[in-house]
Structures are given as structure tokens and as C-alpha cells.
A and B are shown apart, each in its own frame.
Chain A
Amino acid sequence: GQQLNQSPQSMFIQEGEDVSMNCTSSSIFNTWLWYKQDPGEGPVLLIALYKAGELTSNGRLTAQFGITRKDSFLNISASIPSDVGIYFCAGPSMNNNAGNMLTFGGGTRLMVKP
């Protein structure tokens, strides 16, 4: 089946630093999504990308849809303690039912030191 590989698996940074993480696939995706999971909660959608090369921001977060359509990147500027959590990339499964089921990456766990 499809796999989404996220890197790094975890990162421990100082408050105020910028963060970069990425997601790659062996298959082409037409949509990329980034979710964040706060400790003890379910994931919440941060950003959705629909076109190759698209760059979209949500506050201090910026995500890009790679031009090869096989990767996506998420950057967080000036990190703060509440950025702690697990960040997941996701994309629509290649399924003949044509439903909107998502395949998720393994996640990047972000820890922020005050």
C-alpha cells in the first residue's frame, strides 16, 4: 500500500527556533494535508494543499506542496511551548472506492524547551 515517510521522527528544539519537517511518498499525491496532535487529543487539521508548488500559511506555520507531487514540507517559525505535539502529513488513499480516506505518515514528534 501507499506509504508516507516523515522526517525527522522526533526533534527537540529551543523555544524561538524555527522548525522544518518533511513528508515523502513513492506515489504521486493530488492533495497533501498536515495535522497536529496535541498530547492526549486527536489530530486537528492545520493546512491543506491542493496544487503542486502551492505554498500556504496558517499563522506561524507554512506548508508547501512539492513540485514533484511526491513530497510536502511544513515549517514552523519562532516555536513556542504550545507547538509541542505530533505532526502528521496525510494524503488521499489510492482506493477504487474513490472515497476520501486518508493515509497518514508516521508523524514527527516535536518537543520545545522553554
Chain B
Amino acid sequence: DADVTQTPRNRITKTGKRIMLECSQTKGHDRMYWYRQDPGLGLRLIYYSFDVKDINKGEISDGYSVSRQAQAKFSLSLESAIPNQTALYFCATSVTHNYGYTFGSGTRLTVV
């Protein structure tokens, strides 16, 4: 099994729908992140969590929310999906003071 598992791998949804992307990890890492990838823009941070009780907004948090249900689980929600949220979404984990992130394989989301 992968160290960081994202579900679903692909999703097509309609404008206005609520959708949740899930991430679980077996690394035992305390820190978890959600990034969005768009062509030419690299990876942009949406939300991050240093532990179960700590949630922080990243660079582009508008339109998104997150929940850290357990140390191993960090989910990303789009409350009302819009087409410009079509992108590739990555979950990542790390330990404190270490920049060696472990990424999941990504969720490709299309909003029509």
C-alpha cells in the first residue's frame, strides 16, 4: 500500500456540488498539507495542519475547507465547486523540521 493514499484518483462533478477529497497516510507524520497543481503555476498551498488540533490557511484557501479527523487523515472539501477549481490536487505529509515531503498520487478534479 502507498504511504500516502488519496481518494478518489479522478472525479468529475457539476458546478455547485459539494465534494470531498480524502487523504490518509501510514507514515506516522504529524504534518499534512493540501496543494493544488495547475499547468505552469506549480504547486500552491491550500491548507496545512501541524497536528490534529492545528489547521491553517495556505496561499489559496478561499472556496475550500479541511478536516483533520485523525493524525493519519486529512480531507479537503469544496463546499460549492466552480469550474476554476478544476485542477490536480495533492496531499503531502512531513515531519517537523524536515522538508522531505511525501506526496500522494493526486486527485484529478474536473468541475463542469
Chains A and B are bound partners: yes
Q: Which residues of A contact B (CB under 8 A)?
A: 1, 4, 6, 9, 31, 33, 35, 40-45, 48, 88, 90, 92-93, 97, 99-107
- A41, A97, A99: the one contacting B105 at CB < 8 Å is A41
CB distance from B83 to the nearest CB of A (A): 22
Total inter-chain residue pairs, C-beta < 8 Å: 64
Q: Is the CB of B42 within 8 A of A99?
A: no
B31 to A99, Cβ gap below 8 A? yes
How far is it, in angstroms, between the C-alpha of A100 and the C-alpha of B49 when the chains are bound? 11
Whether A101 lies near B90 (C-beta < 8 A) is no
Known: A31-B99, A104-B43. A41 touches B48 (CB 8 A): no
List, sorted by A's number, 26 A–B pairs whose CB atoms are closer than 8 Å. Answer: A6-B42, A9-B40, A31-B99, A42-B92, A42-B103, A42-B105, A42-B106, A43-B43, A43-B90, A43-B101, A43-B103, A44-B103, A48-B100, A99-B50, A99-B56, A100-B94, A100-B98, A100-B99, A101-B58, A102-B45, A104-B35, A104-B42, A104-B44, A105-B42, A106-B42, A107-B40
CB distance from B44 to the nearest CB of A (A): 8
Q: Chain B: how many interface residues by the 8 Å CB criterion?
A: 28
Q: A104-B35, A104-B42 are in contact. List 15 more A-B contacts (CB 8 A).
A: A33-B99, A33-B100, A35-B101, A40-B105, A41-B106, A44-B103, A45-B99, A93-B45, A99-B50, A100-B31, A100-B96, A100-B97, A101-B48, A105-B42, A106-B40
Kindly list chain A residues whose C-beta atoms are within 8 Å of the C-beta of B59.
Answer: 1
